[in-house]
């Protein structure tokens, strides 16, 4: 139970999430409604990596930066998780950008923090055979955390927080994109979750996209439901535009991007965004086929597109070099991904080829590694 609470010694109530922040940014983890059932179908990260044909023996050396706006982690949770999967514990260092601190036990945002560390570290080890180096950037602003991670020389950055573009506004979104553009110019690849509330992204209309995943220099990460035998668009509330499922759609701020080769245009009669398509890539995110992690002293199953960004971050850090803006290379090599052709996120449906549910698809790890082999 979270925070060490028991029926015999109740703890004071703590908020589900940390206090509201600028842009209403929130973490994109999801808990299964039936934990016992989810435990039967959840993935251990190394097994998921195997299912995604992860490379092995990569040089490694890439430093993983993770942005956090709240919650916290404990060394005992990290030790327990990595011991449970037979991997060495990564080196995890906290960096306060603006006075925000690692604060475990105060909100359920601890789920987010544990998920980010454990998934990225395990994915990195699966590809390298070495323990990861992870730096946690604590901030109330995503952009300043990204800038600090880049300035510190991180090779990849994972962001599992965000909000509907309408909550940001065009000016702040352009500033966010500027920060990311500078970061990738310095060699840091940036991955961000695309949201967990289907096509509406929790907004007031059926179709909205999440930021910072919508920023053109961010790799937007969508979600699937992956079992041992199939993979479809993640949507636990079929037919609804505001349930639990992968975010995705078209930006109202950023224009169509030429690097998104073959991306279908927004519906001609749509009153919603018609610009950059989100997401770019995807991977398992359904909490019902989620990830086994440790948080606040307990083993549990967690899902959400929050897991997808650190999964990719761990893979790309394994390449051990500063790759910068990787997105155009990925779009030019769509056969390095499993095309997801079944399912819907509410307003949009999967099709053959790219789509605003899962982008160009889920990873074929060895094929992605081969794209960057000459740089490693």
Domain positions in the chain are: 16-375
Task: Let me know: does 150 contact 188? Beta carbons within 8 Å.
Answer: yes
Please tell me the predicted confidence (pLDDT) of residue 24: 86
Read off the tokens for 8. Answer: 């015999």
Per residue in 101-125, pLDDT tens?
999 988 899 999 999 999 999 999 9
Work out the average pLDDT over 349-371.
Answer: 98
- Is it the case that residue 217 has pLDDT exceeding 90? yes
Per residue in 165-197, pLDDT tens?
999 999 999 999 999 999 999 999 999 999 999
Backbone angles phi, psi at 27, to 5 degrees: -80, 150
Work out the average pLDDT over 190-209.
Answer: 95
Burial label, 194 (beta-carbon count in 10 A; 0-12, 13-18, 19+): buried
Work out the average pLDDT over 319-348.
Answer: 96
239 pLDDT band, cuts 50/70/90, is confident
Burial label, 51 (beta-carbon count in 10 A; 0-12, 13-18, 19+): middle
pTM: 0.94
Please tell me the predicted confidence (pLDDT) of residue 3: 33
- Is it the case that residue 13 has pLDDT exceeding 50? no
- Is it the case that residue 374 has pLDDT exceeding 90? no
Query: 327 has which bridge partners?
Result: none
Fold for 16-375, please state it: Rossmann fold (3.40.50)
Query: 225 has which bridge partners?
Result: 232
Task: Let me know: does 107 contact 17? Beta carbons within 8 Å.
Answer: yes
Task: Let me know: does 275 contact 255? Beta carbons within 8 Å.
Answer: yes
8 pLDDT band, cuts 50/70/90, is very low
Work out the average pLDDT over 152-157.
Answer: 98
Q: Which residues are catalytic?
A: 112, 116, 306
Length of the chain: 376
Read off the tokens for 55. Answer: 């490379």
Positive/negative CA dihedral, 361, 159, 132, 105: negative
Positive/negative CA dihedral, 115, 120, 125, 130: negative
């Amino acid at each position: 139970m979270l925070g060490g609470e028991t029926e015999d010694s109740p703890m004071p109530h703590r908020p589900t999430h940390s206090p509201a922040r600028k842009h209403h940014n929130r973490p994109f983890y999801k808990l299964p409604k039936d934990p016992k059932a989810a435990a039967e179908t959840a993935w251990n990260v190394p097994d998921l990596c195997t299912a995604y044909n992860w490379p092995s023996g990569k040089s490694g050396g890439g430093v993983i930066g993770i942005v956090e706006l709240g919650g916290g982690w404990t060394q005992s949770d990290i030790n327990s998780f990595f011991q449970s999967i037979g991997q060495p514990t990564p080196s995890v260092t906290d960096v306060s950008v603006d006075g925000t601190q690692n604060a475990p036990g105060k909100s359920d945002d601890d789920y987010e923090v544990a998920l980010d560390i454990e998934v990225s570290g395990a994915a990195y080890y699966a590809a390298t055979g070495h323990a990861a180096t992870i730096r946690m950037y604590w901030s109330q602003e995503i952009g300043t955390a990204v800038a600090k991670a880049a300035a510190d020389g991180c090779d990849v950055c994972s962001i599992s927080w965000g909000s509907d573009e309408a909550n940001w506004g065009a000016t702040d979104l352009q500033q966010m994109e500027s920060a990311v553009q500078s970061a990738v110019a310095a060699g840091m690849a940036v991955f961000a979750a695309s949201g967990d509330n289907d096509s509406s992204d929790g907004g007031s209309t059926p179709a909205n996209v999440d930021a910072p995943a919508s920023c053109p220099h961010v790799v937007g990460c969508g979600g699937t439901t992956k079992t041992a035998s199939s993979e479809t668009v993640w949507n636990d509330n079929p037919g609804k535009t505001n349930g639990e499922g992968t975010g995705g759609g078209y930006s109202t701020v950023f224009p169509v991007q030429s690097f998104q080769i073959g991306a279908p245009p927004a519906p001609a009669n749509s009153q919603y965004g018609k610009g950059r398509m989100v997401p770019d890539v995807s991977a398992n995110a359904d909490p019902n086929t989620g990830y086994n992690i440790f948080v606040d002293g307990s083993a549990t199953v967690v899902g959400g597109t929050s897991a997808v960004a650190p999964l990719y971050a761990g893979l790309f850090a394994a390449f051990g070099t500063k790759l910068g803006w990787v997105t155009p290379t990925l779009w030019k090599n769509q056969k390095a991904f499993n095309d997801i052709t079944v399912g819907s996120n509410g307003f949009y449906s999967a099709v053959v080829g790219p789509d605003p549910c899962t982008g160009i698809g889920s990873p074929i790890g060895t094929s992605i590694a081969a794209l960057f082999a000459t740089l490693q």
